[in-house]
Amino acid sequence: MRTEEKGIKSRYGTVNFEKRKHPRFNVDLPVEYSRASLFADQGRAINASEGGLLLYLPELVGIRNHLRLKLFFTMGSELNAIETLVEVVWVDIHLEKDWGNYRTGARFVEISTEDLGKLKSFLRSLSG
């Protein structure tokens, strides 16, 4: 017996399954970054996970470039900062290009165990 005869219709469509290894959390946090050892420029982290960040940067940074990054956040009344090395994995050059804000996806390449622990604690505080 066909499904139409039973009054059941087949459903077709697309489903968007999350493919990321770590969940993302919406944030709005200041960052300092540089291509060398000095922190020279500022940007914003718009979302964060244990694996990386979505950044708004004032300049276009090429894919596969590495940045030294300092991310600032509060937990309770305490100001925290973590330092990390990130790799740019994608750039959206069309968003707010005239304003100088470039959406930039970055993954953590180097992060100390202590700073990763701080980040995980911060992200856990956002989920509950």
Q: Is the pLDDT of residue 54 over 50?
A: yes
Question: Does residue 9 form part of some domain?
Answer: no
**90 is a domain residue:** yes
In-domain check, residue 75: yes
Above 50 in pLDDT, residue 15? no
pLDDT at 76: 85
| Alpha helices (H) in the chain, listed in sequence order | 113-127
CATH code for position 40:
2.40.10.220
Number of domains the chain is built from: 1
The CA dihedral of 56, 80, 68, 64, to the nearest 10 degrees, is -50
pLDDT tens by residue, 73-90: 998 889 999 999 999 999
- Is the whole-model pTM more than 0.85? no
**67 is in which domain, residue-wise?**
25-127
16 lies in some domain: no
Q: Give the number of residues written for the chain.
A: 128
* Average pLDDT score, the chain: 83
* 7 in a structural domain: no
